């Protein structure tokens, strides 16, 4: 009987249980926290109402006391004495009377003013601010009693101003006031279980907070909320000393037009939600227990379900190593047993398929080696007789016959190159490519590579620019092989660059490496195509318009072996080759070869010279003027225009690399032979145009 795997998974599923537990914990926490906050908000608003009611009662008491004193004959008769507020005798008499009444009221402020608002006597323990008193005293002198909250630089007072009337005439004003400070704040804390703070502008005038950090946090919060208090009180969260306090900010009632007077009432959210933490602790304990149960269940599931999967994975790993007989030992009758059986059948098919591929690869390499070898003799005979006929050594030939012989010669040369490419690829794939490492001048090597590619570009109008710099020097390489690799890259650039474009070849030294770059302004390739560009089985072509050419005709195709051969030669040298390209913006190939045995050219100090090993029959060079726009375009191609990158490491799969900026050399080149065209010289740079 087959037991379906899905039922096993559903039977031992634990995550839903853990999800339910976490969801319950989160729901309880959010619900209780929200309820606790709503309760604290309501308590703070009730406390605020109680505070404002208490202030109103104090204002009523001060108003009544000042009115009783102002109506006492002993008091108002003192203000009817002849003299002014500057008269010392008048001031002393009024002060004496005022002290007798101040001993009864015991207020913090007890001030007497004449009919013009001048202060005659202040007998209380404190004195009001001169800037605020006029806004309170002047209305009282006009016959309107006033109550208000007055503020000094660091204090708050609740005051009442009453006109003093004698003979139906206002002869002065009496101002009584009590301070709103720490004493009032402590009384409110006892009544409301809240921390209370009074503030004027940026100064705390009274508070029940003991820690300076808590006070600073209140001042910062007030600064952030001050502009929002015009519409009434606001409740905000203040975090300090690891606690969260809900704080109600509001303006002090009757603070006057100058404003800047506030109070804050705070309740600790942590204290109010202490029971929530207890519930959370119990839920965490349950969660830990559930996690342990889930872990044990997971171990059972892992053993019963994933064990066959691990065996299949191990079988796949062994198959990668060539071992197709690793025992799976999966005997269950569920989907895993069925999968193991199908996997065993698949790897047997894979074994047969891989064996066939290996045999095909061996036959292909053998065929390429034999075919290329067998082609050399007939090709040599064809080329030999073609040379004899072309030279007229076997009799005179007509013009038409000479033209035909030239075509035969070109075809024979193409066939010879195909045979050489096939031989080279067979050597690379069979690890039979040997190197003859000697010291070579890099400038001469690049010159020969460019000349080889240029000679095959008859009829093309693509500018080839050679820039070897001044300090490239020599390197220990196989000269013919490295020349062949660079020539293949230059051929590729010419082939896929339209007429009017350019191919630039340069070499620099960079961190112990010889870097050779071949950049073109051609059609480019996409990132997907670049991934298999160096694979000999991959050719970037349009099958509907495919045609071959032995003169590097634009967008024509050969066998597609040039880039693979170039990579093989570079890898045998211990180097890498990479490509950066994007459609419509050209390509940049970069060869990197370690040059631990390389040294600078010893002739550099001697001034301009002909590179060692350069061909004696080099054709005349055309020195072109330095075109700044072309120079900028070529030098920036690797950074701004190419987005697709691919790098092939030595004897390994291709990897993508970041491009490096091109550096320019400055070594001057020798003058061309007589008859060559010469314009402005560009040191270290040669612009070569393929012969037409």
Structure-token pair, residue 364: 């292909």
Structure tokens that stand for 259 in this block:
């404003």
pLDDT value, residue 4: 57
Cα–Cα separations (whole angstroms), residue 25 to 282, 392, 394: 10, 103, 104
CA angle centred on 182, ends 177 and 184, rounded to 5°: 60
546, 557 Cβ separation under 8 angstroms: yes
Scan for tokens 């010392």, then name that residue: 88
The rounded distance, in Å, linking the Cα atoms of 328 and 190 is: 79
Q: Give the contacts of 437 (CB within 8 A, at least 6 positions apart).
A: 476, 477, 478
Residues 587 and 521: their CA atoms lie apart, in Å, by: 7
Going by C-alpha positions, the residue among 433, 431, 409 that lies closest to residue 420 is 433
Q: Which residues contact 163 (CB under 8 A, 6 or more apart)?
A: 70, 140, 141, 142, 143, 144, 145, 170, 172, 173
Q: 451: phi > 0 → left, psi -120 to 50 → alpha, else beta; which?
A: alpha
Note the Cα 648 to chain centre separation in Å. 28
Token code pair at residue 511: 């961190």
- Asked if 42 and 187 count as a contact pair (C-beta separation under 8 A), the reply is no
Whose tokens are 């059609």? That residue is 523
- Tell me which residue has tokens 């204290």: 271
Across the chain, how many H-helices and E-strands are there?
A: 17, 20
Q: Which residues pair with 648 in a beta bridge?
A: 577, 654
Q: What are phi and psi of 245, to 5 degrees?
A: -120, 130
Q: Please give the backbone phi and psi of residue 465, each rounded to the nearest 5 degrees, phi first.
A: -110, 125
Query: Which residue in 443, 421, 573 sits closest to 505, CA to CA?
Result: 443
Cα 441 to Cα 476: distance, rounded to the nearest angstrom: 9
Which residues have CB under 8 Å from 517's CB, separation 6+? 504, 505, 506, 507, 508, 588, 589, 590, 591, 638, 662
C-alpha to C-alpha distance for 537 and 561, rounded to whole angstroms: 9
Q: How many residues does the chain have?
A: 692
Q: Cα–Cα distance between 54 and 189 in angstroms, integer?
A: 13
Vertex 131, ends 125 and 133: CA angle to 5°? 60
Q: Identify whether the C-beta of residue 32 lies closer than 8 Å to the C-beta of residue 276.
A: yes
Whole-Å CA distances, 554 to 47, 144, 348, 460, 545: 90, 104, 48, 8, 12
Give the burial class of 177: count Cβ atoms within 10 A of its Cβ; 0-12 exposed, 13-18 middle, 19 or more buried: buried
Question: Nearest 5 degrees, angle CA 635-CA 514-CA 665?
Answer: 40
Residue 240 falls in which region: left (phi positive, over 0), alpha (psi -120 to 50) or beta? beta
DSSP three-state, residue 96: helix
What per-residue confidence (pLDDT) applies to 446? 92
Distance between CA atoms of residues 436 and 13, nearest Å: 67
pLDDT of residue 470: 62
DSSP structure class, residue 618: P
Q: What is the mean pLDDT of each run of 10 residues along the chain (692 residues)?
A: 54 71 77 80 88 90 91 87 84 89 89 89 86 83 88 85 89 91 90 89 87 89 83 84 84 71 86 73 78 74 74 84 84 80 87 84 76 78 85 85 84 78 73 83 91 87 83 86 92 91 92 90 84 62 52 72 86 90 90 66 36 33 34 32 36 33 34 35 43 42
Write 67-74 long-range contacts (CB < 8 A, 24+).
67/145, 67/162, 69/101, 69/105, 69/162, 69/174, 69/176, 70/162, 70/163, 70/164, 70/165, 70/174, 71/165, 72/101, 74/100
**pLDDT at residue 559, rounded to an integer:** 63
**Tokens, residue 202:** 């940026």
Q: Look up tokens 């070594």; give the residue.
A: 667
Helix (H, G, I), strand (E, B) or coil at 623: strand
Cα gap 16→29, rounded to integer Å: 20
Question: How far, CA to CA in Å, does 659 sit from each of 375, 433, 591?
Answer: 41, 29, 11
Q: Nearest CA to 156 among 132, 180, 137? A: 180
Angstrom distance (rounded) from CA 267 to CA 37: 10
Task: List the domains of the chain with CATH numbers.
Answer: 19-176 (3.30.450.20), 182-273 (3.30.450.20), 433-688 (3.30.565.10)
């Amino acid at each position: 009987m087959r037991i379906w795997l899905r039922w096993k998974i559903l039977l031992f599923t634990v995550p839903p249980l853990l999800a339910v537990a976490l969801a319950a914990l989160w729901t309880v926490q959010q619900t209780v926290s929200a309820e606790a906050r709503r309760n604290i908000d309501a308590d703070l608003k009730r406390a605020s109402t109680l505070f404002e009611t208490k202030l109103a009662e104090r204002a009523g008491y001060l108003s009544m006391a000042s009115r009783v004193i102002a109506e006492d004959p002993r008091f108002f008769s003192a203000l009817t004495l002849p003299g002014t507020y500057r008269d010392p005798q008048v001031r002393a008499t009024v002060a004496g009377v005022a002290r007798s009444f101040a001993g009864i009221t015991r207020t913090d402020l007890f001030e007497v003013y004449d009919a013009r608002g001048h202060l005659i006597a202040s007998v209380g323990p404190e004195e009001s601010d001169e800037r605020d008193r006029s806004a309170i005293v002047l209305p009282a002198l006009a016959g309107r009693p006033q109550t208000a909250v007055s503020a000094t630089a660091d204090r708050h007072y609740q005051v009442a101003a009453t006109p003093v009337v004698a003979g139906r005439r206002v002869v002065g004003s009496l101002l009584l006031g009590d301070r709103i400070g720490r004493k009032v704040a402590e009384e409110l804390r006892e009544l409301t279980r809240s921390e209370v703070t009074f503030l004027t502008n940026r100064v705390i005038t009274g508070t029940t907070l003991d820690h300076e950090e808590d006070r600073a946090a209140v001042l910062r919060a007030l600064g952030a909320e001050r502009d929002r208090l015009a519409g009434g009180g606001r409740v905000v969260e203040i975090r300090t000393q690891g606690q969260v306090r809900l704080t109600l900010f509001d303006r002090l009632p009757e603070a006057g037009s100058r404003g800047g007077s506030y109070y804050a009432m705070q309740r600790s959210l942590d204290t109010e939600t202490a029971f929530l933490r207890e519930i959370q602790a119990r839920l965490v304990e349950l969660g830990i227990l559930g996690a342990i149960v889930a872990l044990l269940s997971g171990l059972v599931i892992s053993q019963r379900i994933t064990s066959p999967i691990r065996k299949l994975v191990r079988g796949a790993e062994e198959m990668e190593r060539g071992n197709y007989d690793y025992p799976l030992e999966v005997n269950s009758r569920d989907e895993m047993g069925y999968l193991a059986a199908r996997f065993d059948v698949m790897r047997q098919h894979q074994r047969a398929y891989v064996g066939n591929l290996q045999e095909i690869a061996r036959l292909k390499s053998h065929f390429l080696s034999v075919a290329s070898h067998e082609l050399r003799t007939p090709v040599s005979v064809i080329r030999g007789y073609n040379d004899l006929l072309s030279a007229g050594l076997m009799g005179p030939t007509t013009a038409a016959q000479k033209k035909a012989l030239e075509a035969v010669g070109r075809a024979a040369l193409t066939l010879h190159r195909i045979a050489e490419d096939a031989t080279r690829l067979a050597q690379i794939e069979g690890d039979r490519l040997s190197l003859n490492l000697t010291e070579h001048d890099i400038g001469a090597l690049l010159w020969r590579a460019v000349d080889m590619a240029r000679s095959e570009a008859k009829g093309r109008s693509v500018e080839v620019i050679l820039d070897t710099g001044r300090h490239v020097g020599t390197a220990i390489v196989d000269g013919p092989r490295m020349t062949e690799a660079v020539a293949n890259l230059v051929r590729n650039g010419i082939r896929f660059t339209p007429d009017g474009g350019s191919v630039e070849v340069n070499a620099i030294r960079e961190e112990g490496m010889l870097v050779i770059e071949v950049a073109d302004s051609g059609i480019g390739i996409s990132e997907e195509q670049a991934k298999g560009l160096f694979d000999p089985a991959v050719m970037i072509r349009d099958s509907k318009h495919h045609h071959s050419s032995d003169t590097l005709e634009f967008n024509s195709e050969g066998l597609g072996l040039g880039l693979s051969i170039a990579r093989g030669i570079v890898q045998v040298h211990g180097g890498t080759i990479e490509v950066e390209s994007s459609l419509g913006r050209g390509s940049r190939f970069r060869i990197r070869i370690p040059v631990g045995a390389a040294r600078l050219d010893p002739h550099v100090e001697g001034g301009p010279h002909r590179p060692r090993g350069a061909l004696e029959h080099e054709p005349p060079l055309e020195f072109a003027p330095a075109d700044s726009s072309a120079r900028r375009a070529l030098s920036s191609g690797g950074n701004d225009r190419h987005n697709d990158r691919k790098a092939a490491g030595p004897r390994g799969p291709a990897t993508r690399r970041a491009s490096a900026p091109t550096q320019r050399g400055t070594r001057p080149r020798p003058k061309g032979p007589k008859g060559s065209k010469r314009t402005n010289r560009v040191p270290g740079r040669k612009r070569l145009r393929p012969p037409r």
